[in-house]
Each structure stands twice: as C-alpha cells, then as structure tokens.
Structure 1
Amino acid sequence: MTTQKPSAKARRSAARLAAVQALYQLEQSGTPLDKVIAEFVHHRFGEEVEGEAMVEPDAPLFGDIVRGTRLRSEEVDALVTGALDSQFSLARLDLLLRCVMQAGAWELLANLHVPAPIVISEYVNVTRAFFGGKEPAMVNAVLDRIARERRPDEPRAG
C-alpha cells in the first residue's frame, strides 16, 4: 500500500486551520508567540486524530500567518472592525470567529500573491470546520469587504 503525499493546496489549507487554532491558543493562554508556534510545529503537526493521520501543514505559511497577524494586530483589527456590520464589534465576537477573521484579514493585507477569492474561500472553509450557523457567511462578507478596500483592482470571484 502506498501513501500519497498531500497536495500543496491541502497543506496550505491545513496551515490556515492550524494558524487559527494557534491564534486562539495565544489569546486564551497568553503563551509567548514563538513558544506556541514551536509547539504546533514540533508537537501538533502530523498528529493522528481518531486514528487518521492529519495533513501536515505548510509550516512556513503557518508561521507567517500567526506571526503576521500578531505583529500587525492593530492594523488587522482596524480592518476587521471597519468591515463588520454596525451591530457587531470585534470585542463582542466569539473568540474563535475573531481569530478566523484576523488571520484572513492579515492574508488579504500581506499575502498578496494569493488571490483574494482564494483567501476568502479558505477562511470560509475554516469557519465551517467550527461553526454550523451563519458564521461562514459573516466571514465571507467581512473578508470580501476588506478585499474590496485593500485590493480594489483585483478581479472578484463569480
């Protein structure tokens, strides 16, 4: 039996999911940034869950997202706040939902070689992994507003 190597796309998707989890852990625990990143890379990547081997995340992308989101947190938070509907505030969002939006906003801001529709789709999928309600649509709307502001000349999906 041969083991197929995960695609680069699957590894990038896994990196985004892991980055959101790491951002959540950073918010919850107050553990230093580099310690959380090292813990994920050395102890969580390649884990088995319920007997299934998880896709090994793209470690450089994971580190870029987590570091970038934290190091540019004021700018990222301002983008998310500006894109939220008026009845919502960043502070009142569910922490995990906030982490998804922050990571997506950072990628739209800094990871310019990835088209906005792909970034948005990836974080909508991350949201679906945790939420079953209207949250994926909310993430889509917020990240789309950020993309329209930060990347006005880039073509849109659909």
Structure 2
Amino acid sequence: MAPRAGTSNRAALRSAARLAAVQALYQMDMTGIDLKEVVAEFTEHRLGQEIEGDQYNKVEDQSFADLVEGVVREQRSLDPLIDQQLAEGWRLTRVDSILRAILRSGAYELFTRDDVPARVVITEYVDIAHAFFGEDEPRVVNGILDRLGHKARPKEFAVSEAGK
C-alpha cells in the first residue's frame, strides 16, 4: 500500500514537533519560564528559523502546542505513572531534566494520543534520547515507555504480540 501524499512530510513535522516540545519542556524546567511564553517563543522565534548557525526544523504547530500544553496540564497524573516505572528508590525529580522531559512527553502521547501507534511513540522518543545521550538513557526511555505503553494500550500490544 502506497503512503498517502504528504504522509512522510507530516511524520517528519510531527517528529520535529516532539523534539521541540522536549526542548521547550526542558527550558521551562530549567528557567521557570511560563507555558504561554515558551510556546510563543518557540513558534515565533525558533521553529523553522536559523539561530546562531543552528537551523531549527519546521514543525506541525498543533502537535507541538498539544504536547507542551498537554504535558503541563497532565503532569500531576503522569509523574506518578513514570515514578512507578523507575528503579526502586528513584523518583522522576531525581532524573536529568532533559530525560524527564522526554519521559513526560512520551507518557503523555501514550495515554492521550491514540491516533499514533504506541510503538511509533516509543521509537520516536528513544530516537530523541539518542540525540542527547549515550546508550544507557535511551534504554531507560525504551523500557519505561514500553511498560507505560502496555498499561495505556494493552489491546494494541496484545495484538502485536499475538502476531510474533
């Protein structure tokens, strides 16, 4: 089956939106910048722009805003779910800020965006983790998001595991 026209471009825009959302969440965490301010800063001054020699990709604006706003809105319910997946004695607040942003964004998508297959969500955030870290952190992202995916979408995983 051939992909619909524009599908791969839309996927690339969504991937870029995920990366930008993680960066925006990280910036909020590190600077205390307000939600509306960070979304405005990214959409008006970063996304699709070249800044100090770095080219920021264009993104699917709606996906970017949904991710950042959704993570902030749902953080109180997402954090305990992520905490349960961490090694004993660890809490999300002890995790590196960028890793925390990746896990929150991935968890948000798994629990709220059933229009995107869980395995796609997991792969996308593992790829983002590879952009920032060596091998250990991407493995942590994969393990945690996989367990959360099984909780959030058991039917989706049951179908794929039955076909193995």
TM-score under structure 2 length normalisation: 0.87
- The percentage of counterpart residues that share the same residue type is 42
Would you tell me which structure has more helix in proportion to its own residues? 2
CA distance in structure 1 between the partners assigned to 2:103 and 2:24 by the alignment: 14
Which stretch of structure 1 is more off in the superposition, 22-31 or 5-14?
Answer: 5-14
Larger mean Cα displacement after TM superposition, 28-37 or 13-22 = 28-37
The 1:121–1:62 alpha-carbon spacing in structure 2 relative to 1, beyond 3 Å, is: same
Query: What is the Cα deviation at residue 105 of structure 1?
Result: 0.4
What is the CA–CA distance in structure 2 between the aligned matches of 1:55 and 1:25, rounded to whole Å? 17
What displacement does 1:54 show?
3.9
Pairing 1:138-149 to 2, within 5 Å after superposition: 138-149=140-151
Measure, in 2, the Cα distance between the counterparts of 1:114 and 1:60: 14
Change (3 A) 1:68 1:83: same
Change (3 A) 1:92 1:51: closer
Query: Structure 1, residues 16-75: CA drift from partner, whole Å, max 9, x if none?
Result: 000000001111111110110010000001122675744301110000000000011111
* Distance in 2, Cα, partners of 1:101 & 1:136: 10
Offset, 1:78? 1.2
Equivalents in 1 of 2:107, 2:34: separation in Å? 22
What is the Cα deviation at residue 147 of structure 1? 0.6
Q: 2:32 aligns with which of 10, 20, 30?
A: 30
The equivalent of 2:70 in structure 1 is 68
Question: Alpha carbon RMSD of aligned pairs, Å?
Answer: 1.9
Native 8 Å contact 2:48 2:58 kept in 1: yes
2:71–2:104 CA contact under 8 A, matched in 1: yes
Q: Which residue of structure 2 lines up, in the alignment, with residue 107 of structure 1?
A: 109
| Cα displacement (A) at 1:92 | 1.0
In 1, distance between residues paired with 2:85 and 2:114? 19
The change in CA–CA distance for 1:77 and 1:52 in structure 2 (over 3 A counts) is closer
Task: Return closer, same or farther for 1:23/1:53 CA change in 2, 3 Å cut-off.
Answer: closer
Q: Structure 1 stretch 30-39 or stretch 147-156: which is displaced more?
A: 147-156
Task: Tell me which residue corresponds to 1:135.
Answer: 137
Q: Normalization by structure 1: what TM-score?
A: 0.90
Q: Tell me, which stretches of 5 or more residues in structure 1 are unaligned?
A: none
Q: CA deviation at 1:125?
A: 0.5
What is the CA–CA distance in structure 1 between the aligned matches of 2:51 and 2:155, rounded to whole Å?
42
Shift in Å at residue 127 of structure 1? 0.5
Q: Distance in 2 between matches of 1:69 and 1:11?
A: 19
Indicate if the aligned counterparts of 2:20 and 2:64 stay in contact, CA closer than 8 A. Answer: yes
Contact 2:28 2:34 in 1 (8 A): yes
